[in-house]
């Protein structure tokens, strides 16, 4: 008890400083660690800011290029689909327009036979015999009805007398020399032609002028059909 009471105050200070020394050393070490960590963070931030932005920009450019390629592919696919749809619609319309082409072509022969039958009857007999006149009238009625039906289905007659020859719609059967018409002019129609919705069904069979340089052309261009 006496020894403890006699301890000098200076000794107590020395002892306190000795106890605080490890704590101060630990605090100093902690401060150094904090400074080192801050330095590392600054270095990491410097690296990301310096090099990360460049890599990100390159990656963005790469993605934008890929997006542009895919967008172009998508637009092409849409355009191809639209073209396919339009072709399908046109094919369906053409099928409706030209489905009767073969049947109509066969009926043209029947119509031609009616015309030949009427042409074969002499004009003088029509006035003398009422029975013959009645037959001719009946044949003419059938012919008119057939032409009307053709018109209702888009079939039009080509009668190109006096026009210029057009290989797209006419077929030359013979040439006529000394006709007084310019070369290539149609001077005679053997059989009329027919078109269906603008497409040739049968060409007109014609005779054309062989050539007369002194004659002026009656038609500079073909009549549109």
Q: What are all long-range contacts of 95-104, with beta carbons under 8 Å and residues at least 24 apart?
A: 97/154, 97/196, 97/197, 97/199, 98/196, 98/197, 98/199, 100/153, 100/196, 101/196, 101/199, 101/201, 104/150, 104/153, 104/155, 104/194, 104/196, 104/201
Work out the average pLDDT over 110-134.
82
0.75 exceeded by the pTM?
A: no
Which residues fall within 8 angstroms of residue 75, CB to CB, at 6 or more apart? none
pLDDT at 33: 59
For the cut 60, the answer to whether the pLDDT of residue 219 exceeds it is no
For the cut 90, the answer to whether the pLDDT of residue 205 exceeds it is yes
Going by pLDDT thresholds of 50, 70 and 90, the confidence category of residue 187 is very high
pLDDT at 51: 46
pLDDT at 104: 87
Supply the mean pLDDT for the chain. 76
Helix (H, G, I), strand (E, B) or coil at 222: coil
Name the least confident of 11-15, 98-102, 132-136, 201-205.
Answer: 11-15
Going by pLDDT thresholds of 50, 70 and 90, the confidence category of residue 3 is very low
pLDDT at 80: 92
More confident residue, 61 or 56: 61
For the cut 50, the answer to whether the pLDDT of residue 14 exceeds it is no
């Amino acid at each position: 008890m006496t020894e403890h009471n006699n301890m000098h105050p200076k000794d107590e200070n020395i002892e306190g400083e000795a106890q605080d020394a490890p704590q101060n050393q630990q605090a100093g070490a902690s401060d150094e660690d904090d400074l080192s960590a801050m330095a590392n963070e600054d270095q990491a931030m410097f690296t990301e800011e310096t090099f990360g932005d460049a890599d990100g920009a390159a990656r963005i450019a790469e993605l934008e290029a890929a997006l542009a390629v895919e967008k172009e592919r998508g637009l092409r696919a849409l355009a191809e689909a639209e073209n396919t749809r339009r072709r399908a619609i046109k094919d369906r319309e053409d099928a409706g327009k030209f489905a009767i082409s073969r049947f109509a072509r066969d009926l043209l022969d029947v119509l031609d036979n009616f015309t030949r039958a009427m042409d074969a009857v002499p004009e003088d007999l029509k006035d003398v015999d009422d029975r013959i006149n009645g037959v001719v009238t009946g044949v003419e009625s059938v012919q008119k009805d057939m032409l009307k039906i053709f018109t209702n289905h888009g079939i039009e007659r080509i009668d190109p007398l006096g026009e210029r020859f057009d290989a797209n719609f006419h077929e030359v059967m013979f040439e006529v020399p000394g006709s007084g018409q310019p070369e290539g002019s149609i001077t005679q129609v053997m059989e009329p032609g027919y078109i269906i919705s603008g497409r040739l069904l049968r060409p007109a069979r014609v005779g054309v002028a062989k050539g007369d340089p002194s004659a002026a052309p009656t038609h500079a261009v073909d009549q549109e059909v």
